[in-house]
Amino acid sequence: MEDITLVKQAQQGSRGAFEDLVKRYERKVFHLAYGFVQDRATADDLAQEVFIKVYFALAKFHFKSEFGTWLYRIAVNHIKDHLRKTARKKEVSLEEFADLPVSGGDEIKEREEMRAQDERKKVIFRVLAALPEKYRTILTLRDVRGLSYEEVAGILAISPGTVDSRLHRARKMLRKKMAPYVGPEGGADEM
């Protein structure tokens, strides 16, 4: 069933239709939140809060955009509000990275590589968290979540050209802030 049909049914009071919408988008909203907060429990809480907001705001949805775009806009705004309220820096929890199986003779080398990879991820997310909000948001939506320029533009209510220019500036800032952590060649192999 299409989103538009489910939304209309949910607006008329169908709990089943709203549950179908939640099932369809819950993973996407969770992963979006996780991309910002890097904590599974917090991302899960935020995703639930987003769907509560969507439920109560559903009557205000007038089909001027795709439902997914409208939902993502609510999610991004809610997550940004959460980050402002908590005013804490994001860090990657080591618990989030499951231990990979290690083969016999190379156990020490593989563990060192895993630790180095975990440390690189922590640095990247710490640097990303230190960027101004509008650049952190655009990088998270486009590069972490993989949304198209048009989807990002719709979510942030900006033009695709603005997405492109902000993304260019955000990537440039990220590269500059990452420079102390990567080698003289730019560190493409380091990331």
Give per-residue pLDDT as tens, 116-147: 777 777 777 888 888 898 998 998 889 888 88
pTM of the predicted model, to two decimals? 0.66
pLDDT computed for residue 4 by the predictor: 93
Other beta carbons within 10 Å of 151 = 19
pLDDT tens for residues 74-103? 999 999 899 888 864 444 444 444 444 444
Residues with Cβ within 8 Å of residue 41, at least 6 apart in sequence? none
Q: Topology of domain 3-86, per CATH?
A: Rna Polymerase Sigma Factor; Chain: A (1.10.1740)
- Assigned token pair, 135: 């650049």
Write down the CATH number for the domain with range 94-181.
Answer: 1.10.10.10
- How far apart, in whole angstroms, are the C-alpha atoms of residue 113 and residue 111? 5
Q: Give the pLDDT of residue 35.
A: 86
Whole-number Å distance between alpha carbons of 58 and 13: 10
Is residue 187 over pLDDT 60? no
Query: Where along the chain do its domains lie?
Result: 3-86, 94-181
For the segment 24-79, what is each residue's pLDDT rounded down to a tens digit?
A: 999 999 999 998 888 899 999 999 999 999 999 999 999 998 999 999 999 999 99
Please report the DSSP string for 68-118 in residue order: HHHHHHHHHHHHHHHHHHH-------GGGSPPPP--STTHHHHHHHHHHHH
